């Protein structure tokens, strides 16, 4: 509710002007849209993959399951800034690994500046995000599966149920609480998604890959060549981010609320 650079002079009270400005700020709307893409589209892929690998790695289908789950978790152990630098090199249009690979496969017509426009940058960042995040949700779900008593599986097998049927009829219902927590965490994390985007594109090109968090940071603290940052306006973006997070998580928790399954 203030106009303030965050330096010495007193903030000037301007009421709800910052919030009114937010509603007609095209850059903020783009950032909000990007957040929804990360939350819902990338979220679907992350949760889908995490569930798929939970199915594959749980039980006795695969040897050394622990090794593989740790392998998937490994990207999560690398600092996000380092991950971002790695992917920036992969996507580099001139000497990047991805374009190099496409050239090698004779698909050089598909080579492009992956971070150069919104159409390719959002999927490229999403891919890096999915690569980095999936292992964390996989570990959560696997921990949940470990807590399910083996007798349920034994009983289901005696009754002749297939592995896939057991997964959908036994594992997922008994994993429901963990799954709800995992999705809630994903919603919160994806809405405040910052590090990868900031380190990979700084919200560019033309602010088209901003998330609410990166846009908030740029407004509140400026970028390398922006004098007079606007901490007051940045704060209003932070408030909007908080309210949207509460609303989305609240709606999701309400929708996912169901009686505990007992067998």
Site residues (vs another protein, CB under 8 A): 5-9, 24-27, 88, 91-95, 99, 111-117, 120-121, 200-202, 204-208, 215, 218-219, 221-230, 233
CB 197 within 8 A of CB 42: no
Question: Which residue number, 88 or 148, has a Cβ lying nearer to another protein?
Answer: 88
Shortest approach of another protein to residue 99 CB, angstroms? 8
Residue showing tokens 């303030």: 4
Whole-angstrom distance, CA of residue 34 vs CA of residue 25? 14
Whole-angstrom distance, CA of residue 152 vs CA of residue 158? 10
Structure tokens at 171: 């594992």
Question: Which residue number, 96 or 144, has a Cβ lying nearer to another protein?
Answer: 96
Question: Which residue number, 56 or 90, has a Cβ lying nearer to another protein?
Answer: 90
Please name which of 197, 194, 226 lies closest in space to residue 209, comparing C-alpha atoms: 197
Shortest approach of another protein to residue 63 CB, angstroms? 41
Shortest approach of another protein to residue 101 CB, angstroms? 15
Cis preceding-peptide flag for 63 (omega within 30 of 0): no
Shortest approach of another protein to residue 84 CB, angstroms? 10
Residue 193 CB: number of other CB atoms within 10 A? Answer: 23
Shortest approach of another protein to residue 208 CB, angstroms? 8
Question: Which residue number, 60 or 94, has a Cβ lying nearer to another protein?
Answer: 94
Question: Which residue number, 24 or 147, has a Cβ lying nearer to another protein?
Answer: 24
**Burial of 151 by CB count in 10 Å (0-12 exposed, 13-18 middle, 19+ buried)?**
exposed
């Amino acid at each position: 509710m203030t106009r303030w650079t965050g330096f010495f002079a007193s903030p000037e009270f301007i009421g709800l002007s910052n919030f009114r400005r937010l509603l007609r700020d095209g850059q903020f709307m783009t950032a909000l849209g990007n957040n929804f893409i990360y939350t819902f589209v990338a979220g679907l892929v992350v949760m889908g993959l995490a569930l798929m690998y939970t199915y594959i790695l749980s039980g006795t289908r695969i040897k050394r399951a622990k090794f593989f789950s740790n392998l998937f978790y490994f990207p999560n152990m690398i600092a996000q800034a380092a991950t971002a630098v790695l992917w920036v090199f992969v996507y580099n249009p001139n000497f990047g690994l991805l374009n190099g690979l496409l050239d090698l496969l004779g698909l050089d017509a598909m080579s492009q500046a992956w971070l150069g426009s919104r159409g390719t940058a959002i999927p490229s960042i999403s891919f890096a995000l999915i690569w980095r995040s999936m292992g964390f949700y996989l570990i959560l779900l696997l921990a949940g599966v470990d807590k399910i008593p083996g007798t349920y599986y034994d009983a289901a097998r005696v009754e002749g149920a297939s592995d896939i049927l057991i997964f959908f009829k036994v594992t997922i219902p008994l994993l429901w609480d963990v799954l709800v927590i995992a999705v809630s965490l994903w919603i919160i994390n994806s809405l405040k998604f910052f590090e990868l985007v900031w380190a990979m594109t700084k919200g560019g090109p033309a602010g088209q890959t901003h998330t609410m968090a990166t846009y908030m940071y740029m407004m509140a603290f400026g970028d390398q060549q922006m004098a007079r940052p606007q901490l007051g306006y940045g704060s209003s973006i932070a408030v909007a981010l908080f309210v949207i997070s509460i609303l989305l998580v609240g709606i999701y928790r309400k929708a996912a609320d169901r009686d505990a399954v007992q067998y």
